[in-house]
Amino acid sequence: AAAGILCYVGAYVFITYDDYDHFFEDVYTLIPAVIIIAVGTLLFIIGLIGCCATIRESRCGLATFVIILLLVFITEVVVVVLGYIYRAKVEDEVDHSIRKVYNGYNGTNPDAASRAIDYVQRQLHCCGIHNYSDWENTVWFKQTKNNSVPLSCCKAALSNCTGSLTHPMDLYSEGCEALVVKKLQEIMMYVIWAALAFAAIQLLGMLCACIVLCRRSRDPAYELLITGGTYA
Sign of CA dihedral 178, 184, 187, 192: negative
pLDDT in tens, 78-122: 888 888 888 878 888 888 788 888 888 887 677 788 888 999 999
pLDDT in tens, 28-68: 667 777 888 887 888 777 777 777 766 766 677 777 777 88
**Can you give the pLDDT at residue 29?**
67
* Domains identified in the chain and CATH numbers: 94-230 (1.10.1450.10)
For the chain, what is the mean pLDDT? 80
Output the CA torsion 203→207→210→216 (10° steps): -150
**pTM across the whole model:** 0.72
The percent of residues above 70 in pLDDT, for the chain, comes to 86
Output the CA torsion 142→104→19→27 (10° steps): -150
CA-nearest of 180, 224, 222 to 20 is: 180
Q: How far, in Å, CA of 159 to CA of 2, rounded? A: 45
Alpha-carbon distances of 93 from 18, 136, 168, 206, rounded to whole Å: 15, 23, 29, 39
